[in-house]
Amino acid sequence: MSARPDLATLRKEVLEANLAIAERGLAKFTFGNASGIDRASGLVVIKPSGVPYWQLKASDLVVTDLAGTVVEGTLRASSDLMTHLVLYRAFGAIGGVVHTHSHYATVWAQAGQALPCYGTTHADYFHGAIPVTAPLGRTAIATEYESNTGHAIVECLGAQDPLRMPAALVANHASFCWGKSVAAAVEIAAVLEEVAEMAYHTRTLHPDVAPIAPELLDRHFLRKHGPAATYGQPDDAR
């Protein structure tokens, strides 16, 4: 399969996304990766494994198909490639995936706890508690671990719309986020870390705090998302 002409643009977007997660402190050392998909061709552009962010160039990025076959690039793709591909195959509306080991989101993941929605900052981006996967069993770890991680994420989301719940915590691991574009997925990853820190401190201050009321959750989420959204400016007003 040959690369499509617009992959140059996607390469640029994926490079910028990988640099952004490092610059925002979401991905230290080489902990993390970002990818984007061209739905027309079914090709995915992803960070190469183990390459420091400060050394990364667009030409270093790896292009694969949805089965994981490399079609462009000389470097080894991210070790999380198969997790990204499972998410792209399961969630047809998404255009980008970001994986980081950002501190507070990873704390919740390592604790094996879903991230409760305690306030409107969280509700503006996530329609409820951010789910955590069930721990992987021995067989799932020993065989196709990365793909099984993706399947665990899909399973923990259940019937939820992935654009209403654009993140999940992988038990004992860290977070995966997604969006309509890879830039949107970066924003989700940044917000996730912020609300994870807020929730940690909220629960520390008030261990018995209750989650946000469903009515307030809906009010804040739906004013930013969906056909009746009122947040921001109409496209024709800018």
What is the DSSP track for 205-218?
H-TTPPPPPHHHHH
Of 38, 60, 65, 124, which one is the catalytic site residue?
124
Q: Work out the angle between the directed axes of helices 81-90 and 145-157 (0-180°, nearest 10).
A: 40
The token pair that represents 10 in the structure block: 């996607």
CA distance 43 to 198: 37
124 part of the active site: yes
Q: Strand pairing partners for 132?
A: 169
Q: How far apart are CA 181 and CA 85, in angstroms?
A: 15
> Does 231 qualify as catalytic in the annotation?
yes
Q: Following DSSP, what letter does each residue of 146-204 receive, concatenated?
A: HHHHHHHHHHHHTTS-TTTS-EEEPTTS-EEEEESSHHHHHHHHHHHHHHHHHHHHHHH
Name the one residue in this structure whose structure tokens are 């990818």. Answer: 35
Closest CA relative to residue 32, chosen from 94, 104, 98: 98
Other Cβ atoms closer than 10 A to 155: 13
Q: Which amino acids are annotated catalytic? A: 124, 231
